[in-house]
Amino acid sequence: MSADEPFDLSVLERVADPYPVLAELRSTGPVRRTTDGFWAVTGHAEALDALRHPGCASSPIALRFLDGLPEGAARDEMVHRINFLDPPDHPRVRSLLSTAFTPRRVTALRPWVEATAQDLAAGLARRGGPVDLVAEFAHQVPSLVISELLDVPVGERDRLTEFSDRTAPLLGLRTSPAQRTAAVAAAEEFHAYLGDLLDARAAAPGDDLLSALLAAEAEGDRLTRPELLSLAATLYSAGHRTTRDLFANGVSVLLDDPDRWQRVVDGRWTVPDVVGEFLRFETPTLYVVRVPLEPMVLGGAEVGPWEPLVVLLGAANRDPAVYDAPDEFRPGRAGPPPLSFAFGAHYCLGASLARSEAEAMLGALVAELPGLHEPGPSAAPRPWRQRGAFRGLDHLLVTA
């Protein structure tokens, strides 16, 4: 790959392991042109600059995703999606969300999360045989947690998961007409369900996040119904998918080398340090996009206004200029926190909840299944998939 050759972002959707590709790209420069007119940002310093630059906006991203979308739920969600908002809308909506999704609410939930993870892990231990850790644990815990937060009936979890997975292509940089049509239909179903849920909470408020969002008020302002629907869809999707992928991706790294798992079991590696390295080493959200509204120089590249920046968080998290031996899995390593939850005004509000869940899940597995391992070599490679910006495993077969 030459420094003058535009990079084809679609390559990332066709490889099981994107990190060698990202390392090669970064070696030719921290900011590079892509074949579709974007700029790929791979350097850690440059990613930070883009994420916190006051001239880099998020709302123009929605324009790209809106192109060709019909009137309806999918279009409404893109218009009101919190990560596509800029001032004055973004600080207003984020402030209202923060009054409902408080650190106190997250802290109070921790014992419930730990007990839920422990129960599920104990159930896996009793079964003993090979199980799919993604479907039967990594997905179960965060989907139960976000369902508990939103007070969604347990029997409806799989239905909402299906909605969020089917709508994910709406956020892809490349989406076929067939994928878009299916995602638009799924968005209509998703919003219809969430609309009924909001109506039920309005009629009979409870001690849940949806009721708190309906009641949220700041300086006489409240969330509109389209904003509430978009937030509810985003919270459910991000609340289980990112944590599921963060955890399953990370555990797969531990299982690559039996000594890694043993280091967690015997306490040589602490659970919080391991989860922190999960985030850096196998970033579940591979990229975010920002759009400069004014000319800027980034990593020596002269970026024009409205030329989108694809900030490759996974690449920045393995930048050798910031992390020593970045391709080694090394919990407790020196260096700044990873950029897996982005940075700046759009730093993920659910970051502390995601880390808390992953720590509870890993602690439960270590306690209940200290002999965890993959059942044996298989001819089939691990089933990695990328849906939009989200990278994870479809399955991870393990045994105690």
What digits encode the pLDDT tens for the residues 258-286? Answer: 999 999 999 999 999 999 999 999 999 99
Counting beta carbons within 10 angstroms of the beta carbon of residue 349, is it exposed (0 to 12), middle (13 to 18) or buried (19 or more)?
Answer: middle
How is domain 9-398 classified at the CATH fold level?
Cytochrome p450 (1.10.630)
Q: Is 116's pLDDT higher than 90?
A: yes
Residue with tokens 């105690």: 400
What digits encode the pLDDT tens for the residues 201-210? Answer: 999 999 999 9
Q: Is 120's pLDDT higher than 90?
A: yes
Domain ranges for the chain, please list them: 9-398
Tokens of 219: 């300086």
Average pLDDT over residues 301-325: 96
**Residues 6+ positions from 354 with CB-CB distance below 8 Å:** 142, 242, 243, 246, 341, 348
**Counting runs of H as helices and runs of E as strands, what totals does the chain give?**
16, 11
3-class secondary structure per residue, 202-251? HHCCCCCHHHHHHHCCECCECCCHHHHHHHHHHHHHHHHHHHHHHHHHHH
Q: What is the pLDDT of residue 16?
A: 87
Residue 107 has φ and ψ, to the nearest 5°, of: -65, -45
What digits encode the pLDDT tens for the residues 210-236? Answer: 999 999 887 778 999 999 999 988 888
